[in-house]
Amino acid sequence: MLKDNLQKLQENIKSVCQKIGRNPEEVILVAVAKNVSVEKIKEVISLGVTNIGENRVQEAIKKYEELAHSPFPIPNYPSSITHHQLPITNYQFLKWHMVGHLQRNKVKYAVKIFNLIQSVDDFELAEEIDKQAKKINKIQDCLIEVKVSPEVTKYGCPPGEVKELILQINQLTNICLCGLMAMAPFFDNSEEARPYFRQTYELFQKIRSAFSVQCSLFNVLSMGMSNDFVIALEEGANMLRIGTAIFK
Ligand SMILES: *Cc1c(COP(=O)(O)O)cnc(C)c1O
């Protein structure tokens, strides 16, 4: 079932990309596994998924540890992973994404396991990430979460303040800003999400041209969930965060 869901989703992504003339290989699929068991996570990994999203640090750590101590059961691991990167006894090749709101007191745990923190929305949080990353000698990849709609969540940086936040974060040594994350409000008709995604894409492009030197790695646009990923793709997303459509 999970296999069918994933296959259907991947075909869907491919056909949208074909329709709009984009390369589906440029689109990263993050399987959002909040409230999903480790067994199911192992199953999607065995089907080739390498990016796992979580929205709570505690839950993520538990699963991370469990996987780290699991035997590696996959004979046909994804071909994108070269042999020298592949540990025999655990899942080190996985990329973990923090997609939920990050509390400052959890940052010291988050930097230990997450490859990409997608929810940076103010400078105090960024400073704490920088400080904790420094302690473990890590450059932490992050996205700025943009609050494109006042009604979606309490969190996110208002679009008008994103540039200023980037300027501030660029002063920090142990954060690498890789792009933007945004969430559109839920609509029964996903077409209505389009203006929110379009606005985020325009902001993304504006930032990329304004900061071309400092932000040479600023190339991730994370938007689109189970109900609206088609629209997000059409509007330029290159990272999708999908939970329900895979794990339902
Ligand atoms: C849960 C979640 C998702 C995935 O949502 P689905 O509708 O289940 O695909 C994506 N992004 C964030 C931030 C989430 O919390």
pLDDT, tens digit only, all 248 positions of the chain: 999 999 999 999 999 999 999 999 999 999 999 999 999 999 999 899 999 999 999 999 999 999 887 766 554 555 555 444 444 446 778 999 999 999 999 999 999 999 999 999 999 999 999 999 999 999 999 999 999 988 777 799 999 999 999 999 999 999 999 999 999 999 999 999 999 999 999 999 999 988 765 556 899 999 999 999 999 999 999 999 999 999 99
Q: Which residues pair with 180 in a beta bridge?
A: 144, 221
Please compute, for residue 205, the number of CA atoms within 13 A of its CA located in the half-sphere on the CB side. Answer: 8
Residue type present at position 211:
F
Protein residues whose CB sits closer than 6 Å to any atom of ligand 1: 32, 34, 55, 99-100, 183, 225-227, 241-245
In the numeric block, the tokens 């105090």 are attached to: 124
Lookup: tokens for 198: 């379009």
Angle between helix 38-46 and helix 2-20 axes, rounded to 10 deg:
50
Q: Provide the pairing of β-strand 116-120 with 220-222.
A: unpaired
- Ligand 1 atom with the shortest distance to the CA of 246: 9
pTM: 0.92
CB 133 within 8 A of CB 111: yes
Say whether 90 sits in a helix, a strand or coil: coil
Tell me how far the alpha carbon of residue 91 lies from the centroid of ligand 1, in angstroms: 23
Tell me how far the alpha carbon of residue 224 lies from the centroid of ligand 1, in angstroms: 9
